[in-house]
Chain A
Amino acid sequence: MPQYELVNSKLLKIVLRSEEVYAQKGSMIAYTGQVNFARSYLTGGGIQNIAMRAVTNEGWQMMTAQGSGEVFYAQSGQMVTIVPLKGETMYVESDSVLAFDRRLQTGTMFLGSQGGIRGLVQGAATGQGLFTTTFTGNGELVILSDGPTIALDVNPNNPVFVDPQAYIGHRGNLQPNLHTDVSWKSFLGQTSGESFQLKFTGQGVVYIQASER
């Protein structure tokens, strides 16, 4: 399997031995050895997935790198975090994904189906797509963030509340709900992430960044 390593906080190295990785288009900055690059649109998922991606802009273009050697990736000075998945599902917006390989299955998730109407409101609140990309399996997923990623543990005793604009993604068995503070009406006419919060309950990890988008 490909080896993922951070050269520094903003630079990723992947070691390939006759293997293949998928990475965000335009993020390859150098490579050694015999590696071939090709465009790729989809990795798994059926016809429904293709339609969804077309509708939702979650159909981002990727490049596959195949061969043997070392490939270096970096994207717009953003910080890089390697997330090891152990059979869980990670939910993340596609533009925050830097690289992964075929040990992970990708899918497109309609957030509305997870929380009914609340999911819809959530999409409106985050200003991000109602559709998000999912990764499931055993392997590494490399994500990008503006500033360092902060990983917050969630268990049934410790739900976490997150500003939608600071949210990057989450993994595990979590239920995201829109949480509106009781006194939120007093915020009308003011800027405040506080009036809308995403409340995550269950078991898993939520990833946030210090810089609101």
Chain B
Amino acid sequence: MSNTAATLYNPSNLPSNDNINDYSYCVDVRGQMFVRNGKMIAYYGQLRFEALGSVGLAGLINRAFNSASYVSDFIVINGQGKLIVGDNGNNIASYNLENGNLTVKADNLLAFEDTLRCQESVVEGYLTIIGSGLFLASSCGPVMFAVPPICVDEQALLGWADTPCPSYRYDYSYVQSTLSHIGAMVGIGASGEEKQLEFKKIGNDDMVLIQSSESNLRGRDMLEKILAMLPGLDHDDAQAVYSNLYNRIHGQQ
């Protein structure tokens, strides 16, 4: 009968800061933590959700969220409870930092405790997490950990620990070829085989995180974001959106 009975979870047997399966994770919330908008799928307990713009959060944001570009991507969860996080079927992994730093692709950062500080990396589109505590990141496929020196395709790169800033490395024959000159003129980029991020080995704890796929995360494109917003509209707002779209579709014929 084991195959008929899916585990029945309650607050006491849900994993404590661990994965429920590859695509969902249960966080023990005690206090405050930052979670990406819309990624809460269920919770037990007393939890409150606040936007980063709320009054009363200024001190916390000043201390822990030093990243203006991504303020609207995260909310603050407050209270005590079991929080289940899911991200459109992307894989979820957790990382425990002890007085360390780890840089991850901004889109992939899912949640982090308020004991950590989040700052924008000098590499655009990446956030650096500094301090001690737990954070979650989603990835397209499981994460592979690699030790530098290593060259990584930009799309497959999830992040890196400790290693000083990576640099771009072009394949030598690609640089030599006329293709690159034409590409530069017409704006065609190089593929992962021709252009990679190169990591040098500097310290002993250097680590590079690579996702098992070059595809983007599910659920991050504009259309999906818009569709996710629709349930929040009241009748009048929905009507306004409808007539706007109607005019746009039929007015252009």
Task: State the A residues within 8 Å of B (CB).
Answer: 4-6, 81-84, 124-127, 140, 146-153, 155, 158-166, 181-184, 186-196, 205-206, 208-212
Q: How far is the CB of B237 from chain A (nearest CB, A)?
A: 9
Known contacts A152-B42, A161-B42; A211 and B23 CB within 8 A of each other: yes
Contact at A195–B232, with CB atoms within 8 Å? yes
Question: Once bound together, how far apart are the Cα atoms of A163 and B9, in whole Å?
Answer: 17
A-contacting 9-mer, from B47-55, B93-101, B142-150, B161-169: B47-55
| Chain A residue at minimum C-beta to C-beta distance from B92 | A210
Question: Once bound together, how far apart are the Cα atoms of A152 and B24, in whole Å?
Answer: 13
Q: How far is the CB of A148 from chain B (nearest CB, A)?
A: 5
Known contacts A153-B9, A153-B10, A196-B232; A148 and B41 CB within 8 A of each other: no
Task: Name 11 extra pairs, CB < 8 A, besides A150-B21, A160-B42, A187-B75.
Answer: A84-B5, A126-B231, A127-B231, A148-B21, A150-B42, A152-B8, A161-B44, A163-B41, A184-B49, A186-B53, A194-B38
Indicate which residue in A5, A165, A188 contacts B3 across the interface (CB closer than 8 Å). Answer: A5
| Chain A residue at minimum C-beta to C-beta distance from B56 | A183
Pairs A–B under 8 Å by Cβ, sample size 28:
A6-B3, A82-B4, A140-B4, A146-B89, A147-B23, A147-B89, A148-B23, A150-B9, A151-B7, A151-B9, A153-B8, A163-B42, A166-B86, A186-B50, A186-B51, A190-B37, A190-B72, A193-B38, A193-B41, A196-B232, A209-B86, A210-B87, A210-B89, A211-B88, A211-B89, A212-B38, A212-B86, A212-B219
- In the complex, B122 has a CB within 8 A of chain A: no
Q: How far is the CB of A165 from chain B (nearest CB, A)?
A: 7
Question: Once bound together, how far apart are the Cα atoms of A99 and B68, in whole Å?
Answer: 50
Q: Give the most central of A6, A181, A210: most B CB within 10 Å.
A: A210
| Chain A residue at minimum C-beta to C-beta distance from B12 | A158
Q: Give the most central of A125, A181, A211: most B CB within 10 Å.
A: A211
Task: State the B residues within 8 Å of A (CB).
Answer: 3-11, 20-21, 23-24, 37-44, 47-51, 53-54, 72, 75, 84, 86-89, 218-219, 225, 228-232
Q: How far is the CB of B64 from chain A (nearest CB, A)?
A: 18
Indicate which residue in B48, B53, B87, B225 contacts A182 across the interface (CB closer than 8 Å). Answer: B48
Question: Once bound together, how far apart are the Cα atoms of A109 and B125, in whole Å?
Answer: 47
Interfacial chain A residues near B53, Cβ < 8 Å: 186
Question: Once bound together, how far apart are the Cα atoms of A81 and B6, in whole Å?
Answer: 7
Interfacial chain A residues near B48, Cβ < 8 Å: 181-183
Interfacial chain B residues near A193, Cβ < 8 Å: 38-41, 228
Indicate which residue in B41, B51, B88 contacts A190 across the interface (CB closer than 8 Å). Answer: B51
Q: How far is the CB of A98 from chain B (nearest CB, A)?
A: 13
Question: Once bound together, how far apart are the Cα atoms of A200 and B102, in whole Å?
Answer: 38
Contact at A210–B23, with CB atoms within 8 Å? yes
Q: Give the most central of B48, B51, B54: most A CB within 10 Å.
A: B51
| Chain A residue at minimum C-beta to C-beta distance from B1 | A84
Contact at B84–A158, with CB atoms within 8 Å? no
Interfacial chain A residues near B229, Cβ < 8 Å: 189-191
Interfacial chain B residues near A155, Cβ < 8 Å: 10
Q: How far is the CB of A2 from chain B (nearest CB, A)?
A: 13
Interfacial chain B residues near A125, Cβ < 8 Å: 231
Interfacial chain B residues near A183, Cβ < 8 Å: 48-51, 54
Known contacts A192-B75, A194-B49; A152 and B10 CB within 8 A of each other: yes
Contact at B75–A166, with CB atoms within 8 Å? no
Going nearest first, the 3 A-B pairs with the smallest beta carbon separation are A211-B89, A210-B86, A210-B23
Interfacial chain A residues near B42, Cβ < 8 Å: 150, 152, 160-163, 166, 206, 208
Indicate which residue in A148, A163, A189 contacts B40 across the interface (CB closer than 8 Å). Answer: A163
